[in-house]
């Protein structure tokens, strides 16, 4: 065996990769992997204004979407370059990449399609509002049928607002005389397409489709930053994890957010490598007409739109991309023209989310998540002010940060990831509140939560890769990595500091999907590719030709197994072949069919009312209210489950006094005893008896099973 001190390389400079006939696979891979983001972006841009004015109807939504897509997609499509050599762009190794083989594209497609089919088979039918995914479905159910997010209370059916009646329920706020749904509108708008096409049974299939598209789009980012040959493995590595499969079986918003995030980052990388991209990255001039329609400006603007419109999909979207702000400051300092369309796109996209928060989902932001929103707003304001001040100060000094960095800065960037990992490893031993109050003080175990779903090797590889790439970025040796490192690094640090989610698993694992999990896998795969390249320096002598690649194959196999096997084993032994909430759609349809027309539905059990109030209101489209508990709420749902018989009787009398017929629901027939005593036996029926498998609620480790759950709904109505 011999070891080369320096790797041999054959320079292959084909010029513009998108024009190389031998690199059609690289060009197609680059364009197809951002296509999901480019198709969903015009849908958000054209559909949200219609929802805002209360005209979210099938024909105008689809016509405007197709029209805007016909403008945006072809305009961007022909400007997207090949992914070949993207990871080497701007480095001394630029031009060493070989054309992308076709098997990379077909392998990535196969992984994504296989992921979709597998999760379609195990997809959920989650529509009863116990967690967020079901509320997204009910939100979509309502707007697809009514064209507006405003839901009337129908208080006239219950005698107005007597003290015995409440209208708010889980994930639905009572504001004035109407109900406001919880969560941002992006995901429900997309789910509405499924409701228009085939109702709830078809809408739930959006979850595996979006998950597969997210895996495919993530593969495109890996192709740009690591290399096309690594894209299928990276897609497979994220596809086998519990969090990715979990969010791809229920209608969570994280998959759509992941598509927009990695799609936006991919287009930003493309904007720097597109035709005239290098020219447009030079200091700006006054001849804007010459540059405005260039490929780099178009792709930079679309990148900003995709990153900004994350706010319309997830409340945490602006927080995840917060460090795009100082990155834009760096571009301004260097007078790179591409920063202007990037900033404009960010502002426009964020404005959509701000309009959603102000006019559609206001109670969800404040007071529902007031502290989080104020903290996020303060962070963004401080970053904007700090960036402006720093840019002005540096410009006065005549600095564009183009000179070689100080040695201490390089060393600090190199050491920072290791220091942070040590801090978060020691945190549980310093902050010990989680031992006695885990539900509220679980944040010290945030690094453990990542470990449960990825394994130690992925974390270690990612930390090492972040240090190496961070050093290269500071020295100007890896320009395409600068923004992805800032976004994924900050999102991961933010999660480690405060996960900000109910800590039971697997519910909490979805918080990893939009940025933390893809960032870790991306970095781990990059380090694997680096080790594979270094292993080429080892040459075996006196062995058959087919064994000469053994060192490289062994390195790749060992690293790939260390990344993919821990989450795969945990998933196969856990939730991979388990399905949840099966039968809920049919059960709710049966419940709706059992409600007589013209009646006022009153739920007299708060534990039942919280999940079923909004479900009945949106799916059955009937007036519904609950009985006030002994601990009334305001905008938020009433808490507790203690309801006095006198309160139940008062609520029923209020309905009768309004001239309407009460239709009372409860989980057991015994709860009708006060009504039977007061109004006679009436009619008692069993409307629903449905057993389902719920998500497991565990706090330590990865989930292994599902939890049984049974819904029963009895009805009572007074005698004629």
Whether 649 and 674 have beta carbons less than 8 Å apart is answered as yes
Secondary structure element (H or E) that encloses residue 707, with its range:
strand 706-717
- Residue by residue, DSSP assigns 371-437 as HHHHHHHHHHHHHHHHHHHHHHHHHHTT--S-SPPPHHHHHHHHHHHHHHHHHHHHHHHH--GGGT-
> What is the spatial distance between Cα 663 and Cα 652, in angstroms, rounded to a whole number?
9
**DSSP character for 596?**
P
Secondary structure element (H or E) that encloses residue 603, with its range:
strand 599-603
Q: What is the pLDDT of residue 13?
A: 40
- Residue by residue, DSSP assigns 74-111 as HHHHTT---STTGGGTTSTTTT-PPPPPHHHHHHHHHH
Q: What is the pLDDT of residue 633?
A: 53
Position 718 pLDDT exceeds 80: yes
Q: Tell me the sheet residues that pair with 249.
A: none
- Residue 689 dihedral angles phi and psi, to the nearest 5°: -145, 95
Q: For the ranges 90-99, 215-224, 243-252, 361-370, which has the lowest average pLDDT?
A: 90-99
> What is the spatial distance between Cα 564 and Cα 560, in angstroms, rounded to a whole number?
6
Q: CA neighbours within 13 Å on the CB side: how many for 237?
A: 30
Between the two ends of the chain, the Cα-to-Cα distance in Å is: 95
Q: Tell me the sheet residues that pair with 691.
A: 710
Position 25 pLDDT exceeds 70: yes
Mean pLDDT of 167-178: 92
650-676 pLDDT, tens digit per residue, is 999 999 999 999 999 999 999 999 999
For the whole model, what pTM was predicted?
0.94
Whether 336 and 283 have beta carbons less than 8 Å apart is answered as yes
With cut-offs at 50, 70 and 90, classify the pLDDT of residue 12.
very low
3-state secondary structure of 362: helix
Q: For the ranges 37-46, 77-86, 543-552, which has the lowest average pLDDT?
A: 543-552
Six-digit token string for 287: 């001849």
> What is the spatial distance between Cα 342 and Cα 335, in angstroms, rounded to a whole number?
13
> What is the spatial distance between Cα 136 and Cα 141, in angstroms, rounded to a whole number?
8
Question: Which of 18, 38, 20, 88 is CA-nearest to residue 479?
Answer: 88
274-317 pLDDT, tens digit per residue, is 765 555 555 555 455 666 668 889 999 999 999 999 999 999 99
Q: Tell me the sheet residues that pair with 626.
A: 166, 603
Average per-residue pLDDT for the chain: 90
140-165 pLDDT, tens digit per residue, is 999 999 999 999 999 999 999 998 99
Position 710 pLDDT exceeds 70: yes
Q: For the ranges 85-89, 586-590, 631-635, which has the lowest average pLDDT?
A: 631-635
Mean pLDDT of 253-272: 97
Rounded to 5°, the CA angle 82-85-89 comes to 110
Position 706 pLDDT exceeds 90: yes
Whether 628 and 604 have beta carbons less than 8 Å apart is answered as no
Cα diameter, the chain: 98
Beta carbons within 8 Å of 344's beta carbon, 6+ residues apart: 301, 304
Q: CA neighbours within 13 Å on the CB side: how many for 176?
A: 7
Residue of 8 and 304 predicted with greater confidence: 304
Q: What is the pLDDT of residue 11?
A: 39
Q: For the ranges 90-99, 297-306, 365-374, 585-594, which has the lowest average pLDDT?
A: 90-99
Six-digit token string for 715: 């009805």
Task: Kindly report the three-state secondary structure assignment for every residue of 285-327.
Answer: CCCHHHHCCCHHHHHHHHHHHHHHCHHHHCCCHHHHCCCHHHH
Whether 166 and 174 have beta carbons less than 8 Å apart is answered as yes
Task: Kindly report the three-state secondary structure assignment for every residue of 536-594.
Answer: CCEECCCCCHHHCCHHHHHHHHHHHHHHHHHHHHHHHCCCCCCCCCCCHHHHHHHHHHC
Q: What is the pLDDT of residue 337?
A: 85
Position 325 pLDDT exceeds 50: yes
Position 33 pLDDT exceeds 80: yes
Q: What is the pLDDT of residue 288?
A: 58
Mean pLDDT of 678-688: 93
Q: Tell me the sheet residues that pair with 711.
A: 690
Q: What is the pLDDT of residue 631?
A: 64
> What is the spatial distance between Cα 698 and Cα 670, in angstroms, rounded to a whole number?
32
> What is the spatial distance between Cα 57 and Cα 47, in angstroms, rounded to a whole number?
9
**DSSP character for 605?**
-
489-533 pLDDT, tens digit per residue, is 999 999 999 998 999 999 999 999 999 999 999 999 999 999 999
Whether 472 and 481 have beta carbons less than 8 Å apart is answered as yes
Q: What is the pLDDT of residue 430?
A: 94
Position 5 pLDDT exceeds 60: no
3-state secondary structure of 509: helix
Whether 177 and 153 have beta carbons less than 8 Å apart is answered as yes
CA dihedral 184, 116, 711, 663 (to 10 degrees): 50
Whether 483 and 268 have beta carbons less than 8 Å apart is answered as yes
Position 622 pLDDT exceeds 80: yes
Q: What is the pLDDT of residue 6?
A: 44
444-490 pLDDT, tens digit per residue, is 999 999 999 999 999 999 999 999 999 999 998 898 999 999 999 99
Position 16 pLDDT exceeds 60: no
């Amino acid at each position: 065996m011999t070891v080369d001190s320096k790797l041999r390389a054959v320079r292959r400079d084909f010029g513009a990769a998108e024009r190389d006939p031998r690199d059609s696979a690289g060009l197609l891979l680059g364009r197809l992997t951002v296509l999901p983001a480019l198709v969903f972006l015009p849908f958000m841009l054209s559909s949200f204004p219609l929802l805002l004015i209360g005209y979210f109807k099938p024909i105008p939504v689809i016509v405007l979407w197709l029209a805007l897509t016909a403008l945006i997609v072809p305009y961007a499509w022909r400007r997207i370059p090949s992914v070949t050599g993207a990871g080497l762009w701007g480095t001394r190794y630029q031009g060493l990449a070989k054309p992308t083989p076709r098997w990379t594209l077909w392998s990535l497609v196969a992984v994504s399609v296989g992921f979709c089919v597998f999760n379609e088979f195990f997809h959920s039918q989650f529509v009863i509002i116990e967690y967020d995914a079901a509320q997204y479905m009910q939100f979509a159910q309502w707007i697809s049928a009514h064209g507006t997010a405003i839901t009337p209370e129908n208080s006239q059916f219950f005698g107005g607002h007597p003290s015995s009646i409440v209208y708010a329920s889980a994930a639905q706020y009572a504001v004035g005389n109407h109900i406001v749904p919880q969560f941002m509108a992006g995901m429900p708008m997309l789910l509405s397409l499924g409701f228009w096409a085939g109702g709830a049974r078809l809408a739930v299939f959006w979850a595996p489709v979006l998950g597969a598209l997210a895996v495919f789009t993530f593969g495109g980012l890996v192709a740009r930053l690591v290399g096309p040959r690594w894209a299928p493995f990276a897609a497979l590595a994220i596809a086998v994890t519990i969090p990715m499969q979990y969010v791809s079986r229920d209608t969570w918003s994280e998959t759509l957010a992941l598509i927009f995030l990695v799609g936006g980052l991919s287009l930003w990388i493309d904007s720097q490598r597109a035709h005239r991209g290098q020219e447009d990255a030079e200091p700006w001039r006054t001849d804007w007409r010459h540059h405005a329609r260039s490929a780099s400006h178009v792709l930079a603007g679309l990148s900003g739109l995709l990153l900004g419109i994350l706010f319309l999909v997830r409340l945490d979207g602006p927080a995840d991309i917060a460090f795009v702000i100082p990155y834009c400051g760096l571009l301004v300092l260097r007078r790179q023209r591409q920063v202007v369309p990037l900033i404009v796109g960010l502002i426009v996209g964020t404005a959509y989310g701000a309009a959603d928060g102000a006019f559609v989902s206001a109670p969800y932001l404040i007071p529902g998540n007031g502290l989080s929103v104020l903290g996020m707003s303060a962070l963004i304001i401080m970053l904007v002010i700090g960036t402006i001040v720093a840019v002005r100060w540096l410009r006065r000094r005549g600095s564009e940060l183009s000179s070689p960095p100080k040695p201490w800065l390089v060393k600090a960037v190199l050491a920072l990831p290791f220091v942070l990992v040590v801090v978060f490893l020691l945190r549980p031993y310093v902050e010990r509140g989680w031992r006695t109050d885990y539900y509220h003080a679980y944040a010290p175990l945030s690094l453990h939560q990542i470990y449960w779903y990825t394994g130690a090797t992925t974390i270690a590889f990612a930390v090492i890769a972040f240090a190496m790439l961070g050093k290269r970025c500071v020295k100007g040796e890896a320009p395409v990595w600068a923004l992805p490192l800032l976004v994924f690094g900050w999102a991961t640090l933010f999660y480690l500091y405060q996960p900000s989610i109910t800590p039971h698993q697997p519910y909490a694992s979805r918080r990893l999907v939009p940025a933390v999990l893809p960032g870790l896998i991306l970095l781990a795969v990059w380090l694997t590719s680096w080790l594979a390249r270094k292993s080429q320096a080892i040459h075996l002598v006196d062995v058959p030709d087919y064994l000469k690649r053994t060192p490289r194959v062994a390195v790749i196999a060992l690293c790939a197994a260390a990344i993919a096997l821990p989450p795969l084993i945990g998933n196969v032994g856990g939730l991979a072949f388990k399905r949840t909430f099966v039968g809920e759609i049919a059960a709710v349809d049966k419940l709706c069919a059992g409600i007589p027309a013209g009646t006022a539905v009153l739920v007299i059990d708060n534990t039942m009312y919280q999940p079923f109030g909004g479900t009945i209101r949106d799916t059955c489209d009937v007036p519904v209210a609950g009985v006030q508990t002994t601990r009334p709420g305001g905008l938020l749902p009433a808490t507790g489950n203690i309801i006095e018989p006198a309160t139940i009787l008062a609520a029923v009398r209020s309905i009768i006094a309004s001239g309407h017929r009460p239709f009372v629901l409860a989980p057991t027939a015994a709860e009708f005893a006060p009504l039977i005593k007061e109004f006679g036996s009436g009619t008692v029926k069993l409307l629903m008896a449905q057993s389902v498998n719920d998500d497991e609620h565990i706090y330590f480790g990865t989930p292994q099973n599902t939890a049984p759950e049974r819904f029963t709904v009895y009805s009572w109505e007074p005698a004629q």
